[in-house]
Chain A
Amino acid sequence: MKNIGVIIETDKGKIKEACFGMITLARAKGARLFAVVLDQDGEGPNLKSDLKSGLNPDMKADLEAFGITKIIAVSFSPGRNKNPVVRAKAVIEAISAHDLDTVFALSTARGKDLLPRIAALAGAPLVMDCFDVDFEKNQVKTSQYSGKTIAVIELSGKVSVVGIRPNAVEPCRAETTALADLLFLDASDMLSRNLQVVKAGEADRSAAVSLAEAEVIVSGGRGMKNKENFSLIAQCAERLNAAVGASRVAVDSGWVPYSMQVGQTGEKVSPRVYIAWGISGSIQHFAGMKTSGMVIAVNTDENAAIMSNCDYYVKADVLDILPELINVLDNG
C-alpha cells in the first residue's frame, strides 16, 4: 500500500483552497493519505494549544472530507517553524516515521523553497509544477521549455517528491471518508546550523493575491499606456478577488514591480481565468500563462498574437472597456 503525504499550506488559519485539488489528485486507489501540517504562517493554527484540543476542528473536518485519514501535526520550538531548513528536516522526519513513499506540496513560492530542500537533503527525486500523476508507473506530467511542451517524467527512488501546480485539479470530495487519526511529530529539537531567519515576510497582507495561486488574474500590458491607467487593473482585480499581473513592457516601463511580471522570466501562472488588457501576447508572455483555463483578451490590434490564441477577445481600447467593467462589477 502506498503512503502519500500531502503538505498542507494554510493562509490566515485556513487551508488554502488549492490544497484540496492537490489532495484530490493524491487520492490514488488503495493509498493511505497523510496530511502534513507545518503551521505554515504565523496566522495559522497554534499547534501547541491544538495538540491538546486536537487541531483546529474545521481544518480536521475539511481534510477528512477530502479523504485524509492521518494528520501529522508538527510542532516546532517557538519561531523555528519559519526556518526553511528546519521545516524540511521535519518533513524528512515525517517521511521516515510514517514510511511515506510519496510527498506532495503545492508549487507555490513556499513549495518551491521547501520541496527541493527536502529532495536534496533526502537524496530523493523531485519534479516541480506537476499537473498529473500516474501512481502505477510513478510518472508525472509537467511543462518544459517554458510551457511549450509537456514532459512525462519517471521518478525512481525510495521516496518521490512532487510539486503540484495550484489549480491544476478541480477539488472533489472523497466518496468515503473516515475520522482521521491525529499523529504528532515533535520537531522542537531540530536546528539549522548555517541558515538563520533574520526576518520573516508578512504573511497576512490584506490586498495582494499571489499570482501563482490566483484563480483569476487581471493583467496589463503596453495598452495601459502609463502607470496611472495601470491602477485600473488593480481596481478591477480587487473586485474580482484576482491577482494583478503584467507584461514585460509594463514592468520595464516602471509601471509595476518586477514581481508582477507574468512570462518566461516572470511568474508562471495557471489561473482559471486570465484577462489580458492591452497585451500583445509574445511567445515569452505565453510561456508564463498558456496553461491558464479561460483567456480573455482586450486589444485594439486584432492582429495581436493573443487575439487568435484566446477564448474571448474584444477589439477595443482597454481604456474604454476597463472602467466600464469596474462600473458593472460595482453596480451590476
Chain B
Amino acid sequence: MQIYVCVKHVPDSAAHIHIVGRNGIDETVAFLLNPFDEHALTEAERIRQSLPGSEIVAVCLGKEDAEKTLRSSLAMGADRGLLIASDQRYDSIETARILKSAIEQDGTPDLILTGKESIDAEGMQTMFRIGALFDFPVVNNVVKLDIADGKAVVDTDLSSGIVDTYELSLPCVIGAGKGLNTPRYPTFPDVVKSKKKPVKTIRLDGLQLDTAPAASRMTLVELAPLKQKREPKEIIGDPGAVAREMVRILKQEAKVI
C-alpha cells in the first residue's frame, strides 16, 4: 500500500507568538511537527505492520527549515520525505492544490493521512480539499481505522466521545484525531536512522500546477495578540462561604443558573 502522510511544520505549542508587521509572526521560535500529524504517522506505521511492503511518504509544504519536521516524520517511521520548499504563505485552497500535485507526481496513493488540524492556522479543511481534488472520500477526526478488502472502516468522533462509523472505498483521505492511537516517540536509533533516509526537495516550478489563480481564496489581513483583561478577585472564607459566594456569582453575575 502506498501511504502519503501530509505533515506541517508549526511553531511549538509552548512558544510565545510575537506578531511582526501586519500579519506575520516572529519565525525564530522553535518549529516542530504538528502534534496531530504524529497520530497520522503512528497510524501509517501501524498499517504497514499489518500490510508489509507498504511505503510511507511524508509530504510537507513549508520553508527549508521544515526539513526538520520531515526528519521527525522519518524517525517516526516514514520511509522518505518530500519537501515542497517555499517561503510563501498559502491558504488551504492553494495548499491542497500543491500537495495534490506533489503526491500525484510522486506516485499513486492508496491512502492519504493528515492530522485533524494544524495548531497554527487551525483551518480544519485541507484534508477535505485534497480529497475533493483527487475525488477521494474523506473523513476527519478519525479515532479508529481498519483497512481490509480494499476499503476503510472508520470511527469519527462527533464530540464527547459519540462516534459515527463510516465505510470508505480506497483510496481515501483520513484526518487523524487524538483518540486514534498513542504516538510512538522515536528512540535514539530511530533518530540516527532517520538521518540516512532520503528527503527530496522540490520547488513549486517543478510541479505541474494550474497557473491560473484560484477562483476562491482566504487572505490573512491582520494578526493581533489576544488581549486578556482579566483582573482576578479572590473569594475568601471557609468552604461553605466560598461555595455560597460561587453560587451567587454564577447566578447574579454570570447568570448561568
- Tell me the count of chain A residues lying within 8 A, CB to CB, of chain B: 99
How many interface residues does chain B have, given as a range? Answer: 35 or more
Q: Which of A30-38, A64-72, A116-124 lies at the binding interface?
A: A116-124
- In the complex, whether B200 has a CB less than 8 A from a CB of chain A is no
Across the interface, name the chain B residue whose C-beta is closest to A273. Answer: B254
Chain B residues closer than 8 Å to A291, beta-carbon distance: 226
A310 to B235 Cα, complex, angstroms: 12
When each residue 108-119 of chain A gets 1 if its CB lies under 8 Å from chain B and 0 otherwise, what string results?
111011011101
A260 to B11 Cα, complex, angstroms: 25
A293 to B250 Cα, complex, angstroms: 12
> When the two chains form their complex, are residues B226 and A116 in contact, meaning their CB atoms are under 8 A apart?
no
**Shortest distance in angstroms between A185's beta carbon and chain B's nearest beta carbon?**
22
A63 to B106 Cα, complex, angstroms: 51
> When the two chains form their complex, are residues B137 and A311 in contact, meaning their CB atoms are under 8 A apart?
no
**Shortest distance in angstroms between B130's beta carbon and chain A's nearest beta carbon?**
8
- In the complex, whether B207 has a CB less than 8 A from a CB of chain A is no
Q: A157-B215, A201-B162 are in contact. Are A294 and B253 (CB under 8 A)?
A: yes
- In the complex, whether B244 has a CB less than 8 A from a CB of chain A is yes
Main secondary structure of the interface of B (DSSP, over half): mixed
Across the interface, name the chain A residue whose C-beta is closest to B219. Answer: A154
Q: Which of B13-21, B50-58, B67-75, B79-87 lies at the binding interface?
A: B13-21
B residues sitting closer than 8 Å to A (CB atoms) are 11, 13-14, 16-17, 19, 23, 25, 35-36, 91-93, 96, 119-125, 127-129, 131-132, 136-141, 153, 156-169, 172, 178-179, 214-226, 228, 230-236, 239-240, 242-244, 246-247, 249-250, 253-254, 256-257
Q: Which 3 pairs between the two chains have the least Cβ-Cβ distance?
A: A157-B216, A109-B159, A201-B162
A-B contact pairs, 17 of them (CB 8 A): A82-B164, A84-B166, A116-B127, A120-B138, A129-B124, A139-B221, A149-B226, A152-B220, A154-B218, A194-B172, A212-B159, A216-B254, A264-B119, A273-B250, A291-B226, A293-B254, A328-B244
